[in-house]
Structure 1
Amino acid sequence: MNVWRRMAEMTKAKLNDMMDRAEDPVTMLNYYMRNLDADIDRAEAAAARQAAAATRLKERHEDALMVAAKAEMQAQEALKAGRDADAKQATLSRIYYEEKAVEYAEQFTLEKARADELLIRLAELKETKRQMIAKHGDLAARAAHAASVKRLSGGASAAQAGFRRMEEKLAAEADAAPNAGGDTGFAPGKTSPADALEEALRQLGARLKGTSARSGEKVAAAN
């Protein structure tokens, strides 16, 4: 497993852990998606630079091979013409450019491998983004559902609390009702002031009748 793949897996593992512990997963996901977009931009730029470097080395390799082949032809012509010095110089040039071609080929192989690794990293980042986009819709739906449930629960709790306050208020008013009438002294279940007055007059009349009767009896006894 190369270093880029390990970094990608560590990033995804960290992302999943943060998502699990986040109070607002959708907000956290949006934050990580913005960071991921920046990572993708950087990876694309790095991959493009690395690919350009590999391309330049490939071109140098091909140019060196062409120069070496040309020098080989010059050496052969010089040797046929008896120009040993020119043949020697051309041969030295051929050897030099063949060595450069090998050097460029090795560098190209290395840079090409790095470019390919960056492309793999870029593909992994884009796949991670694809998964995050797919997860975003699910998280948004779940968050909306949770918010709706919370609002409904909060509304029910508020209604219940309000109903309890109304019950308590009515109970308190009922307890205070006997004193609410002021001087009338009227309360539910008790005799009204008018009835009490009628009862008092009736009792007074009865007492007066009783007194008159007793007085008449005394007068009659005296005669």
Structure 2
Amino acid sequence: MSILDRLSRLIRANVNDMISRAEDPAKIIDQALRDMRGAYSEARSEVADAMSQMARLEREADTNRKLAGEYEKKAEEALRGGSEELAREALRRAQNHKDLAKGFEEQVSVQRNTVDQLRTQLRALEAKIDEMESKRTLLAARQKTAEAGATLDRVSGFAKAGGALDAFEEMERKVASMEDRNRAMTELRQENDLDAQLRDLGRDRELDEAFAALKARVQGGDKQG
């Protein structure tokens, strides 16, 4: 269960408990706002964590791209020095880092979409809090009018809670969207793992071709020199 899911359940529980105890509707709204501000604070932390993870993935992709380039240079140096076995090993390592870089780049793309979704949801939650705060004065005035009779007072109490409950239902829909997104990310990771296994089937052939191309290029350069 995600952070927002737990907070959504807590908020609804708090409000429903206050309604069942016939609490002052103004107190219900105030409690709803306090709970939603708490939810907003934790949601911001969740977005920050997602952004931090994306930055780490980007660094990993960049590091592996650089290492691949370095090993390719070492392969050429080894072949010029007459060590074919060392050159093949350097090429093998270069290819490993290329594969890692590609994998990290794919994860960066997935994580970027996740961050965008979370930031959109965060802005929506912030807007809902602002909306509830702006309506609080009006709700308080409606409460005073409803206090003319006990029956009207009870109806008014639930009417005032309605605005808050609508916000909670909106949060539930957003939480469901996040969970769908997480399931999609899991499926993508599984697909990436399978793709990596399939790519490995032709790995030796690609390495042989890369080595042959490098050898031809180096030998051709040596002859010209």
Q: TM-score range by the shorter chain?
A: 0.5 to 0.7
Aligned to 1:55: 55
C-alpha deviation, 1:25, in angstroms: 3.6
Matches within 5 A, 1:1-150: 24-144=24-144
Provide the secondary structure at the position in 2 that maps to 1:82.
coil
Give the Cα separation in 1 of the matches to 2:68 and 2:48: 30
Give the Cα separation in 1 of the matches to 2:69 and 2:128: 49
TM-score for the superposition, normalised by structure 1? 0.54
Give structure 2 stretches of 5+ with no counterpart.
17-21, 150-225
Give the Cα separation in 2 of the matches to 1:125 and 1:102: 35
Give the Cα separation in 2 of the matches to 1:25 and 1:135: 13
| Matching residue's letter, 2:81 | A
Deviations 1:24-66 (A, max 9, x none): 4422211211111121112111111111111111100000001
| Matching residue's letter, 1:99 | D
C-alpha deviation, 1:144, in angstroms: 4.2
Give the Cα separation in 1 of the matches to 2:110 and 2:64: 18
User: Between the two proteins, what is the percent identity of the paired residues?
Assistant: 24
Deviations 1:60-108 (A, max 9, x none): 0000001001111111222223221221111001100000001111122
Higher RCO structure, 1 or 2 (CA under 8 Å, sep 6+) = 2
Give the Cα separation in 2 of the matches to 1:55 and 1:137: 43
Give structure 1 stretches of 5+ with no counterpart.
151-223
| Matching residue's letter, 2:130 | R
Provide the secondary structure at the position in 1 that maps to 2:30.
helix
Give the Cα separation in 1 of the matches to 2:86 and 2:23: 81
C-alpha deviation, 1:145, in angstroms: 5.1
Give the Cα separation in 2 of the matches to 1:116 and 1:43: 13
Give the Cα separation in 2 of the matches to 1:42 and 1:96: 39
Matches within 5 A, 1:154-193: none
Deviations 1:121-146 (A, max 9, x none): 11111010011111112212333455
Give the Cα separation in 2 of the matches to 1:38 and 1:120: 18
- RMSD between superposed Cα atoms in Å: 3.1
